Every structure is written in C-alpha cells, then in structure tokens.
Amino acid sequence: MLVKAKPQPLAPRWQKPRYSSWERQKDVTIAIGRFVSALWWDRVRKQNSSEQRSRRAQWLAQTLVNLGPAFIKVGQALSTRPDLLPGEYITALSRLQDAVPPFSTDLAIATIEAELGQSVQELFLEFEPEPIAAASLGQVHRAVLPGGDRVVVKVQRPGLEPLFDLDFKVLRRLIHWSELLFPWTQQYDLESIYQEFFRILYQEIDYVHEAHNADHFRQNFQEFQNVRVPKIHWPYTTSRVLVMEYLPGIKVDDCEALVSCGIDTKKLNQLGVCCYLKQLLQDGFFQADPHPGNLAVTQDGSLIFYDFGMFVEVKSLAKEQMLQTLFAVLKKDSESVLESLISMGLIEPVSDMRPVRKLLQFTLERFAERPVDVNAFTEMRREIATLFEQQPFRLPAQMTYILKSITTLDGIARRLDPEYNLIALAKPFVKQFAGIDPNRSLAEGPGANKTQKWLGLAKLALDTVQAQLSKPNPTVLAIQRLEQRIERGELELRVRSTETDRALKRLNLSIECLMYTCLAGCLLISGAVLVTGPLAHWAAFVFAGSGVAVVLLVRALVRLSVRKRLDRFME
C-alpha cells in the first residue's frame, strides 16, 4: 500500500554530473568566506541581536546541507554544544540530526527495487513513501514485512561515493596548504586524522558493514535489559538498503517529553555514560557518532541505539591506558594522569611541563565532582597562555573519534542535567569494572549472566594487577626520559622577562606585516606598469607574486591579532 508523497526539493549542486574537485573547492571556500565575512561585518556594525544570530544560524545550517554529508556531520557535532555556541545556532543546527531535507521518494523506491530485485509492493505489505527521518547519508521509511513485522527501511542518498572522492581530494589540498602557511599544524599529524576519517566514512556507506556492526553491538549488550538494539532483517539488506526492526522512542535530548513520561534524566545520563564506558573499556567497540538523532529513549527509560555505521575498534593497549587514566582521575592524581596522557600520545613532553601539571591539578581539584565552569580557568591564564605557545597537545587518529564521541555525549548530558559531571557519573562504572563494587550493575533487569560477569571481572582484576606489577617505577621512567632528552639536545636553560618577550614577539610580527605590505604593494605597482609596456606578458606572474604576498600578509595579521589577544588575556 503506497501513499502519495509530498513534492521533493531539487537535488543539491554536488549531485549534478561533472562536478569537479576544483568546483567543490570553490564552493567550500566561498561558503566559509561568506560566513566568516558575515560574522566580521556583524561585529563591526555591533549587530549581535537574537534575531540577527538566528538568521546567521539558519543560513549556516542550510549551507552545511548544501555542502553535503561530511559538513552535515560537522553541524551535528556542533549542535550538541550549547556551552560553545549561542542558543540560536543550537536550534538551527539541531535539525541536521534527523530533519535534513529528504531526497526524492521515487529515487528511494527505485534504489530499493534495484537493490532487492522486486517491486516495493512485492517486498512489503505496507510502505510509507514519506520518510520519517532524513540524515546526512540516507533517509528512513516505515514499512511492514509480509510476515507482519514492523520495520524501517534505510535508503542511501545517491551520489555519496563520488562526493566523498571529491572531498578526499579537497581536504588533502587544504591540509597541504595549511601545513605550508601554518607550519605548526604539522605536529598534529592531520594527514593521519583525515585518512582515518575517510576510511570510516567510506565504511558508513556500506550498509552490509553497518548491519554486521549492529549484530556485533547487540551481542555485546544482549544481557542488558535497559539497552535496546534493533534486529537486522538480512534478506532485505544490501550495501545501499538496510531493513531493521522498528523501535519508536523519544529523542534523547527532548527534556520536556522525557520528564512528561516520568523518566529521570539524571538516571538516563548515568545509563548513557555507563553504556559508552562499557563500549570503550570493556568491548573495545564503540559508536563514534552518538548525536541525538542516533539515540532515543523508550517509555520505561531504556536507551535505544539506531545508527551503526560509524563504529571504531579500540586496541587492548588503548583500553588499558584509558582505564588507568580514569583511575588516576578518580584518585585526583595529576602526575599519573599526565603520565597516562603522554603514554596515549595526547601530550608531547616539552621543556617545561609545569603549566600542564598545574592545569591538570587545578581541573581535578575544582571539577572532578562538580560541573565545569569555564570562567574559573581565568585563574590559570598564564599557564593557558604558555600552553598555547608550547603546543604540547597531540591528537592521534583513533583518539580523534573517542574525543569527538565524549564531547558529543557531554553536550547531550548537559542538556538533560545542567549539574552533570562526567567523572562523578563514571565512578560507579569504573569501580564495578575493576571489581570494587560488584553489586552495582548496568544490567539491572533479569537475564544477566552473573557467572560470566564475575569471570570477566576476575580476569580484568588479574590483568590490572599484572599490569601494575610490571609497570616500571615512575622515578626510573622520569630519569630515562630526562636522559633521552639530554641526548637529543632538547634541554635548554632560558632566562627571560615575560613582558619583554611578549613585546618582542609583537614587534617581530608587526615588522613581518609591514614587510609583506611593502612587497605586495611594490609587486602590484610593478604589475600595473608592466601591463602598459612591452613586457605585458610578465604582468600575470608579477600579479601572482603580489597575491602570494597578500596571503602571507593575512597570515601575519592573524598571528599578530592572536598574539595581542593572548597578551591581553595574560594581563
């Protein structure tokens, strides 16, 4: 049974034929330039009203939709951060979670029939042409199978793989340019991060891979009555069509609906944190895209997982390192936390580690058991400014997704409970996981295999003890690191005045700006003179040189502006 669908919008520009990587580069650059220019113009005119922010936010959301799935995912991640963006932007970007404009229903039906080899009328007793949700990579239709099972049919958007190929080239080009213009970005290994991003993105458009992820995930949580994972209907699943059990629920960040159903949002936060800690620390297989469009809540407070395309496997060593970090955080042991962060590759040892230690100790003492207050960090402005200069932080490719997931979950949890604190909620799970509090369990319903749980806890406790016994003495490790740095010539003694040093840096940047201004002006005048003379064919090269000088001037001006802001922050 089919119902007439509403007219669908025109296809975006990236779905048109013969769309090249340079056209893609132009579209992305123009979009970013327009948005940054608009924000700058609003600041110049001192227009920061709610209405103006709402207009900018709506434009940004629509632009991200027009640019395609990769940029929609950026918007989805930003929509969970009310602590970073104004409310108008959160409202506008939230519709990217499950209300992205759908593609043509006729095209969706054609995809289903081409993939499954039968007409929709033969495949389903009922099929709703109007999608119930549309996201970055596909849209979802309700249907009923011949056996009477109520299901959802997830259909992939057309033209995704060619678009990802274009984005792959564009991003590689941007990374190359950023490393040329801003050499300090090379220390973040952006190449590895973007390779990992596209590896997982290409996996996301293979629905067979997603179906296997769903089965694996459901097996990991099969004993937990308060976690629901839809069943996959394999005979109806291909690389572009995925049919799974229909599990309706309340959107996880819809506080009003949750409260009206009598659901305790604090307990829901506890459940969500424990679910993801289990994925990270126990299973080593976690959902890397936990935005509100992929999570829902049943009437009885159970958590439903919907999307299984973006999953990452965590190595055993990384799980052990993260567990050690959590233990150190719970003990408020800043030195152990620092050692763990160094071992995970998140912090690179620098000549002066005192600012890092002070910042870690300050954070653990102030916010280990209470909500984080960004304004409180003004007390640490000197340490933060020093860290900004030293750039000791690193971002390994795999940790990118872990941090992204934690950040997204943190944003959702703050909406549900303004007093939320990740460390406080993680404490019961970490204790249970280490065998300290075996009576408390994520699986509160019947059916949990107690023997398996105790065996798992016993094995973990044994592994933890063995790891601690085999761990070298921290003093020995510190001496070894000191010896290595002396051998590499990384230690140096510097005596300087902080104020004088900052003033000299500003002066150097000002001179650099003046030099590029003179160079750009001279080349521009020279090009204009050449155009009117017999050597006009050389003018293009001179104008190109002037353009390069302007780019370098802009870079120097940005650095000077950042330096001035940093110095004002430290005063």
* Separation in Å, CA 496 to CA 31, 383, 499, 500, 501: 44, 16, 9, 8, 7
**CA end-to-end span of the chain, whole Å?**
70
Phi, psi of 200 (to 5 degrees): -75, -35
| 8 Å CB contact between 298 and 228 | yes
CA dist 339 to 229, 316, 344, Å?
37, 18, 9
CA distance 91 to 87: 6
How many CA within 13 A on the CB side of residue 361? 9
Nearest-CA neighbor of 316 among 475, 203, 481, 466?
466
Q: Are 82 and 94 in contact (CB under 8 A)?
A: no
Rg value, the chain, Cα: 27
Residue among 289, 333, 373, 437 flagged as catalytic: 289
Amino acid at 459: K
* Number of helices and strands in the chain (H, E): 21, 11
Token pair of 185 as six digits: 């970005």
Pick from 257, 298, 268: which is nearest to 414 by CA? 268
Q: Can you read off the two tokens belonging to residue 169?
A: 């080239």
CA angle centred on 490, ends 489 and 494, rounded to 5°: 110
Cβ contact 413:275 at 8 Å: no
Q: Is 289 a catalytic residue?
A: yes
Tell me the backbone φ, ψ of residue 134, rounded to 5 degrees.
-140, 135
CA distance 408 to 248: 22
- Contact of 445 with 224, CB cutoff 8 Å: yes
Contact status, residue 103 vs residue 139, Cβ threshold 8 Å: yes
Rounded to an integer, what distance in angstroms lies between the CA atom of residue 153 and that of residue 142? 6
What's the CA gap between 141 and 128, in Å, rounded?
6
Closest CA to 269 of 301, 228, 307: 301
Q: Which residues participate in catalysis according to the annotation?
A: 289
